[in-house]
Structure 1
Amino acid sequence: MRKSQSNSNKSGIELEKLTTNRLPNLNGLRVLVAVARNNSFTLAADALGVTQSAVSKQISALEVEFGQALFRRYHRRIEITSFGQRVADLAGSAFAQIETGLREMDVPAPDQIRLFGDADFLEQWLFPRLPEFEALHPTIRISITANIGMNNPPEGEWDCAVIWGRGGWNGCRFEALMTNRVFPVAAPSYF
């Protein structure tokens, strides 16, 4: 909200002075959106890659800042208040609009790798190796999209893809990482 205050300069002309109330903590709003979408502090923490305690503290700080509750807390569940839902909807819409605008401008996220890959490969090979990568490169965020049985990643939504195939993807540089041995498995009674 803006308030207008009048002041005079040396020539006696009235000048408008705008004062602006401070925006709420944007990281807190990001946490609020995640909690509202997941309906859980714990699931929001998992989605954001932070602790449940950090999520709880961010929500509490926002509630103090707004001067009212964003959630009703029960023994094993939470319920968003109507005010909390309105703020979460507004913040979520604003973040989505910013993200869409940046994507349309083809502005890559800073220090982010968008990886597209086969779900089994990611689970069995990549995920066990991620902690070492994260320790070596703590400022790089990895955004992973897993798929099942898709050999052609969606256009423009990734920086790197790990998929099954022999290559030949137009407009892409590709390199074989490994070979895959396929063999039948059957119960002993079939032999």
Structure 2
Amino acid sequence: MRSLPPLASLRAFEAAGRLLSFQDAARELGLTPTAISHQVRLLEQSCGKPLFQRRPRPLSLTPAGATLLSRVSKGLDLFAEGFEAISDRQQQRLKVTATNAFAARWLMPRVPSWRALRPDIGLDIMGSDTVLDLVGGEVDVAIRYARQAPKGLVCSEIGRDNYLVVASPSLVGRGPLDFTPQDLSRYPLIDGQWTDDFLNPPMWFEWVRLARERWSDVPDLAGHASLSFREDLHGIEAAIAGYGIAICSDILVAPELASGALVRVSSLALEGYAFIAAHRPNHPRQQTIKAFEAWIAECFRAMMSTDHQRS
């Protein structure tokens, strides 16, 4: 007889491990972060080992957690495939990949809109900052984030973002605010970690470079950054929590800017990149993919129109 932990604990652990965030896992599964934490604790008690390093932040997997995550993810995929294979009402499914931040903060909140439009087509959303294989069929559609469209694929640009200097009102007040570089140097700063393949990434050193074209005597703000994150999600959460001033994509923090959870503190913005929908040329489900890409482009246009009216 198999000795297995509750499926709810496995699902909560898999989502938290994949997203490296209890809050994002809760959003994905329709639960609270407390419920995710409780289920993970139950699983840790069951196996007798910690699965996450919770301190210092950001959240990370222990070696045992990484080993378990690989196997649980494969197991849940097999469960899903098995259920789909025997389902009387087998639904078409579209595998979509995007960066972790875009998947969690932009795409997931709009899934109900897709379900209302195309209830016959389910979405398998894979957040990953690793480029997954479109040609080999690992995924059907990728939302790539780049200056230019990748070669050898059918691509359509959805839109572009800008990077704004933002902070929590609990740290800087509500404004209106337009800090000078000297003002910014008096606060803790949050920076991002970008790979070398991104040209002029929106980090503090790039902001300083542009600021020196506008002002004299600009301090080296990159050297003032007290926190640095590889994941955009973690940097955004740190800014919301009031840990420092960050440079964030206006697309990813649009809800917080609208609600006032974050405020813009400088008029100087950095140019971002393009969100590009891509699929392989010979994909057998061209019409389904075109419908998805048209929907996501329309969602983007609607969001930009709302932001323009608000401003």
**If the length of structure 2 is used for normalisation, what is the TM-score?**
0.31
Which has the bigger relative contact order, CA under 8 A and spacing at least 6?
2
Larger Rg, first or second structure (1 or 2): 1
TM-score between both structures, scaled by the size of structure 1: 0.48
